[in-house]
Amino acid sequence: MVKSSGHIRWGIAALLFFVSTLNYLDRQVLSVLAPTIQAELKLTDLDYAYITSAFLLSYTVMYAISGALVDRLGTRKSYLWAVGGWSVANILHAFAQTAMQFSVFRFLLGIAESANFPAGVKAASEWFPIRERALAIGMLNAGSSAGAAIAIPLVSVIAVQFGWQAAFMVTGALGLIWMFFWRRQYYLPQEHPRITSTERDLILEGQVEQTAVAQNNFKSNLKQLLRMRQAWGCLCARIFIDPITYFLTFWIPKYLQEQQGLTLDQMGYFAWIPFVVLAVGTLLGGIIPQWFISRLGWSLNRSRKTVMLFASLLIPLCCVILFQATGMVVAIIAIAGIMLGHGLWGNITIPAEVFPQHVQGTLTGIGGTLGGIAGILSQLSVGWTVQHFSYAPIFVGIGVAYLFTLLCVQLLTGELGKIVSLT
């Protein structure tokens, strides 16, 4: 096992964790408050589906653009613009009174939030050797889960005490604090004033060949990527898994209130549990493969795919348990199991384990765009299905999606940990 010296990269990972926490905290406020806002403003489930789809529309269109901009502008500038933009957009929700106004503000939120994962994956690639990237990106993903978990008790308390408008304003203001620390702390490893030479060498080891590749423009990179089966394996992981991410984020709080009978007060006590488990799952999705590699001598490919297979089997089992749930406790445990498996899977990590740094923002952006298109279609389908039938067909689809996606990754992407050449 290689011993590392220095800890600057883990401070960067902490900043990535917190920015994803804010990213999902801001987008989750509406999900927690949806029944309250719907009752007060007379909005239907289809209205809510249109509002969430407005977010996904801009998020989808901008994801690929944001990925290219991140590759061009760099992670430092990209994050400052993105976090400032989504914080303002979130605050604007406090002034909405109609479905159209909510849709406009969700549209603006989606534009800014689309940069989070392209920038985060690129930052992790810049600051971590390949064997540690699953853990670093797991921390990025864990932040999103933590944000969703924190949102439930935080938003519930603020809304009960001060009204739902205050919840949007308080959560939106938190982004300004993060921007201050990011601006002071983030530099490339080659430029960081406090990094040790040992840690710098560890980070840059194995990256020389990648960074020496000619930096093609976006069009050239895009054409080249779309001709590669490995890229399509990465994209399939976004197309089939991202819609589930959006469902878990936007609909689980509603499901617990409408199907399991939780009040807004009870949401603050119990509904955060599955999202904390999701955060733990995303961390374990990086920690467990790293343990397999260091202790058992397994390859990155074997380690990651073993964890992905376990998660793909756990999720349908929990869906079956959810169908049989006779009370709130069993339902929360089953949903927590689904979220654990979802976190373990780590679909957003795959490009960083297969492709060189200079195209990771672009590839992550393309994947987010395609995943967003699938998410828009799925959101409208979920809204119609829930309104006319039930949640059961949704969980059936979730139960089979992960095994199918793992097959696509195996056949198309091939070996994880082997960086492909784009020369």
Q: In the prediction, which pLDDT does 338 show?
A: 94
Q: DSSP assignment of 265-278, as one string? A: HHIIIIITHHHHHH
Does any domain span residue 60?
yes
Does any domain span residue 422?
no
Q: In the prediction, which pLDDT does 206 show?
A: 53
Q: In the prediction, which pLDDT does 69 show?
A: 83
Does any domain span residue 419?
no
Two tokens, residue 254: 């509603």
For residue 98, the enclosing domain spans 8-413
Domain count, the chain: 1
Q: In the prediction, which pLDDT does 196 show?
A: 79
Q: In the prediction, which pLDDT does 214 show?
A: 41
CATH label of the domain that carries residue 77: 1.20.1250.20
Please check whether residue 234 is in contact with residue 413, taking contact to mean a CB–CB distance below 8 angstroms: yes
Contacts of 170 (CB under 8 A, 6+ apart): 158
Query: What is the pLDDT tens value at each position of the chain, 423 positions in all?
Result: 344 456 888 888 889 999 989 998 888 888 888 888 888 888 887 888 888 888 878 888 887 788 778 878 888 888 999 999 999 999 999 998 888 899 999 999 999 998 888 888 888 888 887 777 777 877 887 787 788 778 878 888 898 888 888 999 999 989 888 999 898 888 887 877 787 777 777 777 655 444 444 444 555 567 778 888 888 999 999 999 999 988 887 788 778 877 777 776 777 677 788 888 988 888 888 889 988 988 888 998 999 999 999 999 999 999 988 887 677 888 889 999 999 999 999 887 888 788 877 777 778 778 888 888 888 788 778 888 887 888 888 888 999 999 999 999 999 988 887 878 765
Q: In the prediction, which pLDDT does 24 show?
A: 84
The three-state DSSP-derived secondary structure of the chain is CCCCCCCHHHHHHHHHHHHHHHHHHHHHHHHHHHHHHHHHHCCCHHHHHHHHHHHHHHHHHHHHHHHHHHHHHCHHHHHHHHHHHHHHHHHHHHHCCCHHHHHHHHHHHHHHHCCHHHHHHHHHHHHCCHHHHHHHHHHHHHHHHHHHHHHHHHHHHHHHHHCHHHHHHHHHHHHHHHHHHHHHHCCCCCCCCCCCHHHHHHHHCCCHHHHCCCCCCHHHHHHHHHCCHHHHHHHHHHHHHHHHHHHHHHCHHHHHHHCCCCCHHHHHHHHCHHHHHHHHHHHHHHHHHHHHHHHHCCCHHHHHHHHHHHHHHHHHHHHHHHHCCCCHHHHHHHHHHHHHHHHHHCHHHHHHHCCCHHHHHHHHHHHHHHHHHHHHHHHHHHHHHHHHCCCHHHHHHHHHHHHHHHHHHHHHHCCCCCCCCCC
Does any domain span residue 423?
no
Q: In the prediction, which pLDDT does 217 show?
A: 56
Burial of residue 65 (number of CB atoms within 10 Å: 0-12, 13-18, 19+): middle
Q: In the prediction, which pLDDT does 115 show?
A: 86
Does any domain span residue 301?
yes
